Amino acid sequence: MKYGRVFVFSGMAVAAFAIAVLSYWALHNYEVLNKGQILPYTDGLVYEILIDGKYKVYVEPEIRLRSDIFNAAILVGVAYIAMTFGSIIYRREKPMLTQRFWFFAVMSVGMFYLAADELLGIHESIGHNLQFLMAVPGISHPDDLIIASYGIGALGFLFYFRSILVQMRRSLKYFVLAFIFFCISAIADLASLGIEELAEVIAGIFIIVGIMYFGLAAIQESESAPENL
């Protein structure tokens, strides 16, 4: 049964990764051929899109297609997953607020913030009001240091919850991989390499897989302990 779960989660992770890569590729290899009320059965604003110069599709988006929308959707998904697991742990362990509960609570708040930042450009706005940061050697945009602070925060999160993460090594591996790709994204942004968004997507996928493994293991542990009702 144990190996069956590993197989299922591994398959889900591979499928999620493939979908993310294909979506990222499509968002960077499309051309709008036509837009407007171009279909006879709807009054909606429809886009006729050519992907990679070969595949024609019709979409009716409520918002403009951008890769940061996709990244934000992943982050919101992680936030809700963490919120769900946190609620279950709280229900089982109340009135005590254990480290496992705080792990999910902090993860949920952090992911909601990052999703909002992805959509609203919070770190860019903060940077515009801290232009003196460009005086720091190697800094060309004031928001570069804001992004770096996110990495420090993520590292602090892993360090603070290290005692429970080391007990669940599989989840820890995924979180470390997510942190590595987050750093790659930050470095790519600083160096203008153009791969920062793909690195963000990959980091988000690793976080999803890690939080799922961690959540299921945490619930299993709480089930083996006396339940506080």
- Residue pLDDT, tens place only, 43-98: 778 888 888 888 888 877 655 556 677 788 888 988 999 999 989 888 887 777 88
Residue 94: both structure tokens together: 């109340």
Query: DSSP alpha helices (H): ranges in 28-98?
Result: 67-93
Distance from chain centroid for Cα 109 = 12
* pLDDT at 25 (0 to 100): 75
Measure CA 160 to chain center.
20
Q: What is the pLDDT of residue 84?
A: 92
Sequence-separated (6 or more) residues with CB below 8 Å from residue 138:
none
Q: What is the pLDDT of residues 111-157, one digit of tens each?
A: 999 888 888 888 888 877 777 877 777 677 777 778 778 878 888 88
- Residue 121, CA distances (Å) to 52, 61, 115, 207, 220 in order: 29, 21, 10, 21, 38
Does the pLDDT value for residue 169 go beyond 80? no
Q: Counting Cβ atoms within 10 Å, is residue 32 exposed (0-12), middle (13-18) or buried (19+)?
A: exposed
The answer to which of 10-19, 132-141, 192-201 has the lowest mean pLDDT is 10-19
pLDDT at 108: 93
pLDDT at 112: 92
Cross-strand bridge partners of residue 31: 50
pLDDT at 227 over 60: no
Query: Which residues neighbour 87 within 8 Å (Cβ) at sequence distance 6 or greater?
Result: none
Q: What is the pLDDT of residue 61?
A: 67
As a whole number, the mean pLDDT across the chain is: 79
Predicted model pTM: 0.67
- What's the pLDDT at 6? 59
Specify the DSSP class assigned to residue 38.
-
* Res. 176 pLDDT band, cuts 50 70 90: confident
Distance (Å, whole) CA 217 – CA 222: 9
User: Residue 229's pLDDT is what?
Assistant: 36
DSSP-derived 3-state class of residue 48: strand
The two tokens of residue 172 are 């820890």
- The DSSP letter of residue 129 is T
Taking the domains of the chain in order of start, what are their residue ranges? 1-64, 66-224
Instruction: Grade residue 222 by pLDDT with cuts at 50, 70 and 90.
Output: low
